[in-house]
Amino acid sequence: MWLKPEEMLLKNALKLWLMERSNDYFVLQRRRGYGEDGGGGITGLLVGTLDSVLDSTARVAPFRILHQTPDSQVYWSIACGANREEITKHWDWLEQNIMNTLSVFDSNEDITNFVQGKIRGLIAEEGKHSFAKEDDPEKFREAILKFEKCFGLPEQEKLVTYYSCSYWKGRVPCQGWLYLSTNFLSFYSFLLGSEIKLIISWDAISKLEKTSNVLLTESIHVCSQGEDHYFSMFLHINQTYLLMEQLANYAIKRLFDKETFDNDPILDDPLQITKRGLENRAHSEQFNAFFRLPKEEILKEVHECSLWIPFSHFSTHGKMCISENYICFASQDGNLCSLIIPLREVLAIDKTNDSSKSVIISIKGKTAFRFTEVNDFEQLVTKLRPKFEAASTQYHINREAAISSDSTDPSDKLEEQSMMCQKECSHETVNTEALMMAFHSQNLETLDSKMLKEKMKEQSWNILFAECGRGVSMFRTRKTRDLVVRGIPETLRGELWMLFSGAVNDMATHPGYYAEVVKRSLGTCNLATEEIERDLRRSLPEHPAFQSDTGISALRRVLTAYAYRNPQIGYCQAMNILTSVLLLYAKEEEAFWLLVAVCERMLPDYFNRRIIGALVDQAVFEELIRDHLPQLTEHMTDMTFFSSVSLSWFLTLFISVLPIESAVNVVDCFFYDGIKAILQLGLAILDYNLDKLLECKDDVEAVTVLNRFFDNVINKDSPLPSSVQQGSNMSAEKSCHVRVDITDLIKESYERYGNIRYEDIYSMRCRNRLYVIQTLEETTKQNVLRVVSQDVKMSLHELDELYLIFKKELLVSCYWCSSCPILKYHDPSLPYLEQYQIDCQQFRVLYHFLSPWAHSANRDSLALWTFRLLDENSACLINFKKFASAIDIMYNGSFTEKLKLLFKLHIPPAYTDVKSQDPSKGDDLSKEELLHFSQLKVSRPSHEEETESIKNSPEKGKGKVDIQAYLHQWQEELSKKEDNVKNLPRMNQPQFIQFSNTLYNLFHGDPDEEALYQAIAVVTRLLLKMEEVGRKLHSPISSPKGCSGAVCASGKPIEKTTGSHVQAKEPSSVQEESQWSLTFEQILASLLNEPALVKFFEKSIDVKAKLENAKASQLRPRTKM
């Protein structure tokens, strides 16, 4: 069958394949071990053995055809066959239909582009006639049953798809089934009595990539928590890999990258994920990214067709892509011809009656586009007509509504719309022209050589406009890119930036939006506006436009309006530099929409608190350096150097390191080619300075080399006045450093690295996002462990395991929750300790798994009281430090520490009366009851309330954080010593009875149960007598009002009971009778006299076994919780 052309690495594959036929452009190969007498020797025997143990659906095809060109080392796989007859049929077709055609091409690049386009067309044509479903519903149901039986995951876990493959355990492949579900990658194999079961959660994966080695040409490598796993022998490895990549990135976004996921409503319910849905989503993302369309657009249909190119007088084959509001076309033959037709611009859609199967689309401006060889063209026209009519009607409604809100005279709508911002913004006037026009208007009477070159550039563009059209629906060809690389003329820069970025569509579909946002954002005061005000004067301060109130006010309005539009980003440093350049060449409203396009589409996740997008692209840059500049990689021992140097390159599009007259040429290419332009320019800069960088002995020297290079980059054709040009302001003295023209540098980057494909960058971004976010998560963990380890006795390894269990519980609670699409208690903007916090329900689950006291009959009550004790600020959330401190006392605390913990659990604020509403459940509490009791407020002694109010004072009810109060609190915590037992409140009679009941429950099932029961009975009797005698000595005259201070402080006197739990009394029913109380010292001294009790609390606990059991139990169904 025909395969999507993919570049092949033959250095290892030659050991596995033999050549059978070849010519100048194609090679037919047979896999060793097939069709040979004796199996082809040792190598053939090994290959044949590997392939024969595999399931028939996963075997490697024994024949394949590769495409090559003379004098080229690059091969492309284009076909494979299960037998000689099938592959021979493909070979004969190539010789009869392709070979003669290839001789007419002048270059090898054109030959390869033609072959790739032809093969893709054949694949698409075959796909149209194949309506067989990929997944048989009956087989899929069987797979679901097997998946549930093998792995025992909760029934809410949804299986997305499954594949037959091999899992490499050491050097031995194990044939089995790979199951991809919403939250897990699972593998199961059972051969010859040997069972292999593997479950990896997507959120634990830090690396996911396709690799090749000596034995296997292709496999999928998965790295999870430091362990490497290899899967191979897939029938469709690319499809499998892309689906795994999507599921992993979705899980990472959903669980760790809250800022991104909040803006992504499409996948907000993990229970609704399907294989088809993920594939459609991936196609839509690539469609929107390629054509720079709004993120909301969803790809609906794709049709193979040809587009008539009037200025070239031929048709180019490609794909017509249709969404709700756009019709787009991209050629497949390498001519780089693309087209975007907004439906709002369409006037008519017609079909022809001849055999050409043509669709003619007419748009405003007397332009028509002819698509030929469109299958089902009649149905397509029928579907498109109501779409463009609805889109056009809606566009005019929005436009008229925006204008009518500001104008009573609609006669000249265009004029009114352009002046709308002025009327909206009170005393501040929105600029209706680019700042460059106001501060550097061109004088036609004094044309120097630079201005003449600028006019020639403009003329070249005007010729292109005459051929390809002008505006959003212009043809975009290789000639368009060539003109962009030379630099866009100053007068056309704003218009073409809007066009190539897609911002023109945003502004057209949102008339009046900017004016409204400016109006609403005026006068707002928050952290973002304060940072904006601080950075306004730092934005291109050497440019006269930003030395005046005109430029500063425009910059303030655009940045403030965007912070109002997108509060999650608000304002981030580097946005001011980028926006100031946009304002130089675009009108103010256009600059706003350009900023929207950059921040929300072209550079996703760049401008947020963690700049994840920039870190991801830096990782992509490092990967490209390893591929294209290996000698530099070998010389630089630490690749993080490139990250530290290139961060400003990506955040500011080189504006911060290049002179402004050179940087705008880089921005030209960025708006046309996206991040690809920045990556290839970065490679070109390193390549240009390669020899000098290889001579550097440390990072400081390398930084000096690059800074000196940037200082010598010029734009010799820039028409800007010398007073504005930063490069011309340098010393005119001759130096040993050669000046580099930015146009030559950009051309060099396209010639050397222009073959980097959009698809490869997209894949590298997905792959490196996993690594970047997991690296940030690892940094968070290490910082938390460093702080917590100082206060606990657990080893660092045990603490590490405990942290993973703590974090996993938080994630597991969101795996199957459709009403909680984002992680409720995870905020990466908070300090490390506060980023992950759990509620009472999650704590209860962990308490059951980890606590040595979890076998107690009233374990739910103990979990509740422990949570309330740790929740000092009554936020109903606790962090890992508090959680670890309690677990550490239970595991490693002394007898006194454990007893003190139990004592605190039975006095306020931790203690509260609990009783399940369902008597059949005994002491077990439902989730609702648990959360209710965890939120109850219990009065505490006055000195504790004062302390608590101090703790909460720094940020409660204030817009700003009180730094002094935080410093005071921090100093108190540092100087605070271990609680003095004398300062503990006294325990009243009902609390002591519950305390005794808890001890009885803890002893149940212990080998020394009888001895412990006797010991606690002795202690209880002794304490009762002791308190009775003490009360008589201190209060000889009994009074009904003689209650102790500790009892009054508890707020809720409790009636004595003998049951395992205590019923709460209403305040009105409290009896005014004499109460008694005990101190902690009294209880401690009495228990110390009983060796059985001391032995029970001091016996060692197998912490490792507890942690392992908790990890194994977290993914099991929780019917009782």
Taking only the tens place, the pLDDT of each residue in 533-545 is: 999 988 888 888 8
Task: Please give the average per-residue pLDDT across 661-673, as a whole number.
Answer: 95
Residue (of 860, 867, 865, 878) closest to 1060 by Cα position? 860
**pLDDT, tens only, 144-189:** 889 988 898 888 888 999 998 889 887 777 888 999 999 999 999 8
SS3 track for 472-490: CCCCECHHHHHHHHHCCCC
Given this model, what pLDDT does residue 835 score? 87
Task: Give the mean pLDDT of the chain.
Answer: 81
pLDDT at 301 over 60: yes
Q: What is the pTM of this model?
A: 0.78
Confidence of residue 237 (pLDDT cuts 50, 70, 90): confident
Contact present, 581 and 606 (Cβ < 8 Å): no
Confidence of residue 132 (pLDDT cuts 50, 70, 90): very low
**pLDDT, tens only, 950-993:** 444 444 433 444 556 655 655 555 555 445 667 788 898 889 98
Q: Strand pairing of 713-714 and 17-22?
A: unpaired
pLDDT at 419 over 60: no
Confidence of residue 779 (pLDDT cuts 50, 70, 90): very high
Cα 448 from chain centroid (whole Å): 51
* Core vs surface per residue 1100-1111: b (16+ CB within 10 A) or e: eeebeebbeebe
Confidence of residue 929 (pLDDT cuts 50, 70, 90): confident
pLDDT at 413 over 90: no
Cβ neighbours for 213, distance < 8 A, ≥ 6 positions apart = 12, 219
Identify the H or E element spanning 320.
strand 314-322
**pLDDT, tens only, 187-217:** 998 876 788 999 999 999 999 999 876 555 6
Given this model, what pLDDT does residue 967 score? 58
pLDDT at 439 over 70: yes
The pair of structure tokens assigned to 107 is: 């270059």
**pLDDT, tens only, 792-845:** 999 999 999 999 999 998 888 877 765 554 445 567 778 888 888 999 989 999
Q: Strand pairing of 338-342 and 837-838?
A: unpaired
Given this model, what pLDDT does residue 19 score? 87
Q: Which amino acid is residue 110, in one-letter code?
A: D
Q: Sheet harboring 194-201: ordered strands across? A: 194-201, 184-191, 172-181, 159-169, 227-232, 219-224, 205-211
Given this model, what pLDDT does residue 342 score? 94
**pLDDT, tens only, 624-638:** 999 999 998 888 777
Determine the Cα–Cα distance for residues 32 and 10; give it in Å rounded to an integer.
14
Given this model, what pLDDT does residue 1107 score? 94
Given this model, what pLDDT does residue 395 score? 72
Cβ neighbours for 81, distance < 8 A, ≥ 6 positions apart = 1, 61, 62, 63, 64, 87, 88, 90
pLDDT at 414 over 60: no
Residue (of 1044, 1048, 1073, 1065) closest to 913 by Cα position? 1065
Confidence of residue 427 (pLDDT cuts 50, 70, 90): very low
E strand spans, 529-648: none
Residue 797 to residues 225, 782, 1074, 1107: CA-CA distances in angstroms?
Answer: 14, 12, 52, 11
Given this model, what pLDDT does residue 921 score? 61
pLDDT at 790 over 80: yes
Given this model, what pLDDT does residue 353 score? 79
- Poorest-pLDDT segment among 244-248, 717-721, 789-793: 717-721
Given this model, what pLDDT does residue 1044 score? 36
Given this model, what pLDDT does residue 291 score? 93
Confidence of residue 262 (pLDDT cuts 50, 70, 90): low
The pair of structure tokens assigned to 1024 is: 């009762």
- Poorest-pLDDT segment among 67-81, 613-627, 720-734, 1017-1031: 720-734
pLDDT at 20 over 50: yes
Q: What percent of the chain has pLDDT over 70?
A: 78
